[in-house]
């Protein structure tokens, strides 16, 4: 009997092992074997992906390369993946909302990976998460090996590792998850790396190769030092560096849109200017022939036949874009562009489509950035504008009502019905955050009224006829259940209930029921707005 049980256990173990398939060094997990994989591995890194996701496809070879590197290094981290479009229970359980989502599982808890989608960033992050924030480097050999392990390494040289300076250094090491930190007190390592006193040195395999910290030993200064030197003088825009670009302490970026192949001289000049503005501007170039950059060309209003071209972007509370005042991308033109930006003489660039030839040929007038101000500021006409996004389903559903409204007022010389795509057109004084949004530009004055009424032909008509003074709100209808409850209350013949108290009670119940329904509707509206805002953010990114 004992041998039979043992035989069964062995068979079960083999079946379990066979269930977890492997592709390119990555475990392929499903709902049936996910929990056992977590239980069997101290550290399990899981990518939740979708087969149609382009970022997932780009990340696949990087993820596989990371798995290979970790195995060769003898790491106790196992990499796995889950098709979240098939394993819906797992996707729901772990709140997967975007692809790829990568989580590290350890002892029943999970940590979200938010670094770059490349093997270097992933491996460095895992080393930190599964070990100390800064690796203890005992001798010259370990320091040398550490420097060669990655393209960007930070080493703290401290004779006393219990000092306050070390505490500040380690706090930054914990925070910067995508940077590899080491620490040493070895005197030979000090001498071998030309370090004469306590200090922090960045060793990197690009640009000047080394940066020595010269500030005060506090978190802010150390963090800024690392951030300013973490990226090359010139960066090619790619998914792997997006996070580093947008989280950089350098908030002014100069972008070069160029065909990478055959533009060596242009890029050489770009590098030349970049060296003179280190820490003040990030210099980034985008290959216009890379299909992944197409949406950025559209966002910045750069036509492929107009390349090479330049833009400056300020990433402060609001993102502002600037075009150069003259053509050219040679070093002199780039320096002139930067000089004008520093002087504040450049005008903010607002993206606009070209004015369609037939923009006013139909009842609904089509506005773009270039004609918006002219049409809405006409004091002889009142203009009701719908601000929409192409992906907004509610906007599309509204089209029949909007078209009919415009047809009804087509022969009215004092009222214009219009709409504008605010994804393709940017407006100086109108920051639209919800779709659709309606604004009424009054006739004869500068008053602008935001319409908040019902999306029906009747409600829009009342609003227009009252010159924007009357707004018809959505009426909440009573449900059949409420009507039945009220009818039952009316025929209640309980003689012990005082009639006046009964009436009062019914009125209160009715009021509470309606208030509850209105509150529910309000919550649903907020949820819808939040979803729309999130969708807009995702679309713009």
Cβ(180)–Cβ(149) under 8 Å? yes
Give the list of residues 6+ apart from residue 127 with CB closer than 8 angstroms, or none. 135, 180
The catalytic position among 38, 56, 153, 385 is 56
Cβ(376)–Cβ(385) under 8 Å? yes
How many angstroms separate the Cα of 111 from the Cα of each of 114, 134, 142, 349, 374? 9, 19, 29, 40, 52
Q: Which two tokens stand for residue 261?
A: 């192949």
Per the annotation, the verdict on 395 as an active-site residue is yes
Query: CA-CA distance, 470 to 451, in Å (whole number)?
Result: 10
- The DSSP letter of residue 241 is G
Cβ atoms within 10 Å of 469's Cβ, excluding its own: 9
Per the annotation, the verdict on 535 as an active-site residue is no
Give the list of residues 6+ apart from residue 49 with CB closer than 8 angstroms, or none. 56, 59, 81, 82, 83, 84, 99, 100
Per the annotation, the verdict on 53 as an active-site residue is yes
Cβ(48)–Cβ(110) under 8 Å? no
The catalytic position among 28, 53, 238, 448 is 53
Q: How far apart are the first and last CA of the chain?
A: 63
Beta bridge partners of 157: 184, 199
Per the annotation, the verdict on 150 as an active-site residue is no
**How buried is 310 (Cβ within 10 angstroms: 0-12 exposed, 13-18 middle, 19+ buried)?**
buried
The catalytic position among 222, 392, 406, 418 is 392
- The DSSP letter of residue 297 is H
- The DSSP letter of residue 474 is P
The catalytic position among 395, 415, 418, 459 is 395
Q: How far is CA 499 from the centre of its chain?
A: 61
**How buried is 161 (Cβ within 10 angstroms: 0-12 exposed, 13-18 middle, 19+ buried)?**
middle
Q: Which two tokens stand for residue 278?
A: 């280190």
The total number of residues shown for the chain amounts to 541
> Which residues are identified as catalytic?
53, 56, 392, 395
């Amino acid at each position: 009997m004992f041998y039979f049980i043992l035989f069964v256990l062995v068979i079960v173990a083999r079946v379990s092992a066979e269930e977890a398939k492997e592709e390119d060094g990555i475990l392929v997990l499903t709902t049936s074997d996910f929990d056992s994989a977590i239980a069997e591995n101290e550290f399990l890194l899981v990518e939740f992906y979708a087969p149609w996701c382009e970022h997932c496809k780009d990340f696949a070879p990087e993820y596989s390369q990371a798995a290979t590197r970790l195995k060769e290094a003898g790491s106790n981290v196992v990499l796995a993946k889950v098709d979240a479009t098939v394993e819906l229970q797992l996707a729901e359980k772990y709140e997967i909302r975007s692809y790829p989502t990568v989580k590290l599982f350890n002892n029943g808890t999970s940590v979200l990976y938010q670094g770059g989608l490349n093997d270097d960033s992933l491996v460095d992050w895992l080393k930190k998460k599964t070990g100390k924030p800064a690796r203890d480097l005992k001798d010259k050999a370990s320091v040398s090996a550490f420097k060669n392990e990655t393209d960007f390494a930070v080493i703290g040289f401290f004779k006393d590792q219990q000092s306050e300076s070390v505490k500040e250094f380690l706090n930054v090491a914990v925070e910067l998850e995508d940077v590899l930190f080491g620490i040493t007190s070895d005197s030979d390592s000090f001498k071998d790396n030309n370090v004469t006193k306590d200090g922090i040195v960045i060793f990197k395999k690009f640009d000047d190769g080394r940066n020595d910290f010269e500030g005060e030993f506090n978190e802010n200064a150390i963090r800024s030092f690392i951030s300013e030197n973490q990226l090359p003088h010139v960066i090619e825009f790619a998914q792997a560096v997006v996070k580093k670009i947008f989280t950089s302490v350098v908030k002014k970026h100069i972008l070069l849109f160029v065909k990478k192949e055959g533009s060596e001289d242009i890029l050489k000049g770009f590098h030349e200017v970049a060296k003179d503005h280190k820490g003040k501007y990030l210099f980034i170039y985008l290959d216009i022939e890379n299909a992944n950059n197409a949406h950025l060309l559209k966002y910045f209003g750069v036509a492929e036949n107009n390349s090479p071209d330049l833009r400056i972007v300020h990433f402060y509370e609001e993102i502002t874009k600037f075009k150069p005042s003259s053509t050219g991308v040679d070093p002199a033109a780039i320096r002139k562009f930067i000089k004008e930006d520093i002087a504040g003489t450049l005008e903010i660039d607002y993206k606009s489509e070209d004015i369609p030839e037939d923009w006013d040929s139909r009842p609904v007038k089509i506005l773009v950035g270039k004609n918006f101000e002219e049409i809405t500021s006409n004091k002889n006409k009142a203009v009701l504008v719908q601000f929409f996004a192409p992906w907004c389903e509610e906007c599309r559903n509204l089209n029949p009502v909007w078209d009919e409204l415009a047809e009804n007022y087509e022969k009215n010389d004092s009222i214009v019905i219009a709409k504008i795509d605010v994804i393709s057109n940017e407006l100086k004084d109108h920051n639209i955050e919800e779709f659709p949004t309606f604004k009424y530009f009054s006739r004869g004055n500068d008053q602008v009224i935001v319409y908040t009424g019902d999306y029906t032909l009747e409600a829009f008509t009342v609003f227009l006829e009252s010159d924007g003074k009357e707004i018809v709100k959505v009426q909440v209808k009573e449900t059949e259940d409420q009507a039945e409850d009220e009818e039952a209350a009316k025929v209640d013949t309980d003689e012990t209930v005082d009639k006046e108290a009964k009436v009062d009670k019914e009125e209160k119940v009715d009021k509470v029921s309606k208030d509850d329904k209105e509150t529910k509707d309000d919550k649903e509206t907020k949820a819808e707005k939040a979803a729309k805002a999130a969708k807009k953010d995702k679309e713009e990114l």
